């Protein structure tokens, strides 16, 4: 459920609860005229909202309402709109390299393919079993010697 500030074509302002952001807006509660959303946050420049950025796009199954058709369609529309906007204003596109890690230490600064850190982390994360570092081998040897 989302609460919107709405304004009708006659200028009446009111709040309405809408089930999802992709539902049609209800008509004016006073006169029945069609309504539009009053932007909740207007940029300092007064420019219109650029819509959700790529980072805000859902990328999980639950994020798209378990594949709900209307939700997927809505995001697809938002995405298409965003792509057109980015064609016009490339600076909006931001970093579009695939994100390799976005949890833990990378929660605030996602690790992206091509980052110098990426190779190091990939090596550390995906090192096959049995190729332990020299340090841990030495430790294991010491332990074996202790048991003797």
Structure tokens at 146: 């202790």
Report which of 91, 90, 116, 113 is spatially closest to residue 102, judged by C-alpha positions: 113
Structure tokens at 42: 């207007």
Taking the complex as a whole, the smallest distance from the CB of residue 96 to Zn ion amounts, in Å, to 42
| Number of other residues whose CB lies within 10 A of the CB of residue 28 | 20
Assess 31 for contact with Zn ion (CB under 5 A): yes
Contacts with 58 (C-beta within 8 Å, 6 or more apart), sequence order: 64, 75
Taking the complex as a whole, the smallest distance from the CB of residue 30 to Zn ion amounts, in Å, to 4
Taking the complex as a whole, the smallest distance from the CB of residue 29 to Zn ion amounts, in Å, to 7
- Of the pair 35, 82, the CB lying nearest Zn ion is at 35
Instruction: Specify the stretch interacting with Zn ion by CB under 5 A; choose among 12-20, 57-65, 80-88, 109-117.
Output: 12-20
Instruction: Specify the stretch interacting with Zn ion by CB under 5 A; choose among 10-18, 46-54, 80-88, 101-109.
Output: 10-18
Ramachandran assignment for 125, one of left (phi > 0), alpha (psi -120 to 50 degrees), beta (any other): alpha
Instruction: Specify the stretch interacting with Zn ion by CB under 5 A; choose among 26-34, 36-44, 69-77, 92-100.
Output: 26-34
Report helix, strand or coil for 64. Answer: helix
Assess 33 for contact with Zn ion (CB under 5 A): yes
Residues that bind Zn ion (CB under 5 A): 8, 10, 12, 28, 30-31, 33
């Amino acid at each position: 459920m989302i609460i919107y500030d709405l304004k009708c074509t006659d200028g009446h302002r009111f709040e309405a609860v809408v089930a999802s952001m992709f539902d049609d807006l209800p008509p004016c509660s006073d006169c029945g005229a069609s309504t539009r959303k009053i932007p909740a946050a207007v940029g300092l420049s007064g420019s219109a909202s650029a819509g959700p950025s790529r980072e805000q796009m859902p990328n999980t199954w639950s994020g798209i309402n378990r594949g709900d058709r209307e939700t997927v369609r809505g995001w697809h529309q938002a995405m298409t709109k965003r792509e057109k906007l980015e064609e016009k204003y490339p600076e909006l596109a931001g970093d579009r390299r695939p994100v390799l890690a976005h949890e833990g230490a990378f929660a605030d600064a996602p690790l992206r393919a091509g980052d110098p850190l990426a190779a190091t982390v990939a090596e550390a994360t995906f090192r096959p079993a049995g190729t332990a570092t020299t340090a841990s081998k030495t430790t294991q040897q010491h332990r074996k010697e202790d048991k003797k």
